[in-house]
């Protein structure tokens, strides 16, 4: 791990452990006209190095519009207790729908590692939503945390 004034760079193992334990973050979409970010539950697949989402879509889903464009997305996850106690991971990549025939393993990963959002977060009745499995195929990932004052890395 290397250090600078913005904390310590997390190594790959620390990033993996963090993503497996976090289970919730902000998924952000963007294009030339603007952006859209939403809190999202996720599960990290250590074996295939991807992030699993169960996305919901209503009749007029802005999220669906951004996904159809196929642009890169960013997932940000962080914990902040104080200026001396924080960590964050930022993941960039592309979202891909997981075929129904292949969603058993991703569903298990999601169930094991995500922090499930309450149904009250949905603006439409659950019966009016379509749920689909997606994975974020990682292009790059960066993690940082506060410098450990005791070990001064």
pLDDT tens, position by position, 50-104:
999 988 887 777 888 888 888 899 999 999 999 899 999 999 999 999 998 887 8
Report the number of distinct structural domains present in the chain: 1
Q: Alpha-carbon distance 93 to 74, whole Å?
A: 7
Distances (CA, A) of 150 to 45, 72, 105, 140, 143: 32, 38, 41, 30, 20
- The CATH code of the domain that includes 68 is 2.30.110.10
Task: To the nearest 10°, report the CA torsion of 21, 25, 30, 36.
Answer: 160
Give the pLDDT of residue 27: 95
Expressed as residue numbers, the domain containing 40 is: 3-145
Please check the confidence at residue 116 and state whether its pLDDT lies above 80: no
Q: Confirm whether 153 is domain-assigned.
A: no
């Amino acid at each position: 791990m290397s250090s600078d004034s913005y904390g310590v760079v997390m190594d790959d193992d620390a990033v993996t452990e963090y993503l497996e334990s976090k289970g919730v973050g902000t998924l952000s979409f963007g294009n030339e006209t603007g952006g859209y970010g939403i809190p999202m539950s996720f599960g990290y697949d250590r074996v295939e190095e991807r992030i699993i989402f169960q996305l919901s879509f209503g009749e007029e889903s802005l999220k669906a519009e951004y996904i159809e464009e196929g642009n890169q997305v960013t997932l940000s996850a962080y914990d902040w207790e104080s200026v001396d106690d924080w960590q964050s991971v930022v993941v960039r990549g592309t979202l891909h729908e997981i075929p129904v025939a292949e969603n058993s393993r991703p569903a298990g990963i999601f169930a094991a590692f995500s922090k499930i959002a309450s149904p009250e977060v949905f603006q439409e009745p659950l019966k009016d939503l379509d749920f689909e499995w997606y994975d974020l195929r990682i292009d790059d990932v960066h993690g940082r945390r506060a410098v450990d004052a005791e070990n001064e890395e």
